[in-house]
Amino acid sequence: MTQLSDRVLNMATSATLAMAAKARELKAEGKDIIGLSLGEPDFNTPDFIKEAAIQAINENYNAYTPVDGYVELKDAIITKFKRDNQLSYERSQIVVSTGAKQALANIAAVILNEGDEVILPCPYWVSYSDIVKLNEGVPVEVKTSIDNDFKLTPQQLEAAITPKTKMIWYSSPCNPSGSVYSKEELRALADVLQNYPDIVVVSDEIYEHINFIGTHVSMAQFEDMYDRTVTVNGVSKAFAMTGWRIGYIGAPEKIARACNKMQGQVTSGANCIAQRAVITALNESPSRVQFMIDEFKQRRELILGLLNDIEGFKTNSPEGAFYVFPDISHYFGKTLKGYTIENATDFSLFLLEEAHVATVTGIAFGNPNCIRISYAASQEQIMEAIRRIKQAVS
Ligand code: PMP
Ligand code: GLU
């Protein structure tokens, strides 16, 4: 049998997807697993979006779409960027992709050459590091502290920049920490970047609407950052459309054109029915999905309250997304019910085996002291999961 490429052999498996698969497997064996590993809303896609998809099927939308997306979808994205983010983009600056994940992969592929560095404030979303490496880039992980709400400081950014720095990638609201950068915090980072005009910023805003403090700020809103910021977004999270696979970017035209070219050779345009449905989703007011955000907010209060009651779980106060990222290093070096806990992976596996609760190790997000718990689950499931965790560690 042929030898596989170094590229794939050196790549880590997506830890979020791997844990979700493991949880599914154990469930199929009849174990009562509560899955808090995957960042996936547990709501159904709203009816008004489903109806648009059904209509598109009946209207025979079945052919290849333009590689960078239907014009009507680009226009809906342009409207959305204006309405929600006060950002002005032309059609030539928009590219629709098969999820924000492909949008990110396109960006890495069109910007990185071998050895180029990408600054990743830790914790970062699980796939950033491997997407960068896959494209021969070098992820430069910058540790942030739970005491600073896991946010990158201007001093840390300055210290991480080298002549090889090509980009910085971050998400706000952040997966996995839930941190939301304020306008002042982003401005302070932008001020550092003033001295480095060639560094591109990738602002991953996929959790934009799942924000409990009110204000979402886009890096591209700063006039001096607009021309070198790629704004990444998608419908997976706020619209409960993970499986529909639609994400998009607003970018400097040169980068958008390059992503279009890349996608044209790799996947072609995203799914036609899903694109039609997303036109409807984005043209509606975000208030149509507010009920989900309200529910996430309640779950956040619930899970933070319950976790605070367990010894050795130190949390920040997540202001967005649907994750908590507790520091559980208190348990390192201890033996719990016969399991020796040396690191976050051991702890996460212990919770799976002993409490039958699936979480994800922080190592996958660049932070070895934490685990990620998704609260995109019902309040009953959250209460039961945390009860089991408490019992397992007691
Ligand atoms: N960015 C972040 C921060 C995420 O959590 C995810 C996970 N859904 C993605 C990008 C990719 O989203 P999708 O491909 O489903 O649009
Ligand atoms: N983004 C989600 C997560 O972090 C979905 C899984 C994935 O795409 O990796 O869990």
Ligand with an atom nearest the CA of residue 207: 1
Given a cut of 90, whether residue 342 has pLDDT beyond it is yes
What atom in ligand 1 is closest to the CA of residue 247? 16
Residue 230 token pair: 């790629």
Considering 286, 311, 334, which residue would you say is the last residue of a domain?
A: 286
Q: How many domains does the chain have?
A: 2
Residues 33 and 170 occupy one common structural domain: no
CA angle at 219 for the pair 215 and 220, rounded to the nearest 5°: 115
**Six-digit token pair at 179?**
């941190």
Residue 338 CA to residue 130 CA, distance in Å, equals 34
184 in Cβ contact with 219 (< 8 Å): no
pTM of the full predicted structure? 0.96
Q: pLDDT, tens digit, for every residue of 58-96?
A: 999 999 999 999 999 999 999 999 999 999 999 999 999
Q: Which ligand is nearest to the CA of 359?
A: 2
pLDDT for the residue numbered 22 = 87
Domain identity same for 222 and 76: yes
Give the confidence band of 51 by pLDDT, cuts at 50, 70, 90.
Answer: very high
Q: Which residues are CB-neighbours of 154 under 8 A, at least 6 positions away?
A: 188, 189, 191, 192
Whether 107 maps to a domain, the answer reads yes
* Ligand 1, CB within 6 Å, residue ranges: 39, 99-101, 125, 171, 175, 204, 206, 234, 236, 242, 247
The verdict on 355 and 296 lying in the same domain is yes
Q: How many CB atoms lie within 10 A of CB 384?
A: 17
Ligand 2 contacts (CB < 6 A) are 14, 16-17, 38-40, 101, 126-127, 175
Count H helices and E strands in the chain, helices first.
14, 14
Residues 113-168 have pLDDT tens digits of 999 999 999 999 999 999 999 999 999 999 999 999 999 999 999 999 999 999 99
pLDDT in tens, 222-240: 999 999 999 999 999 999 9
CATH number at residue 322: 3.90.1150.10
Domain residues for 69? Answer: 47-286
How does pLDDT run across 296-322, given as a tens digit for each residue? Answer: 999 999 999 999 999 999 999 999 999
* Residue 1 belongs to a domain: no
**What are the distances in angstroms from CA 119 to CA 63, 136, 139, 178, 247?**
39, 14, 6, 19, 22
Candidate from 38, 236, 242 with most ligand 1 atoms within 8 A of CB, to mutate: 236
Report the pLDDT averaged over residues 323-330.
98
Spell 318-339 as b/e; 16+ CB within 10 A means b: bbbbbbbbbbbbbbbeeebeeb
Closest residue CA from atom 2 of ligand 2:
39
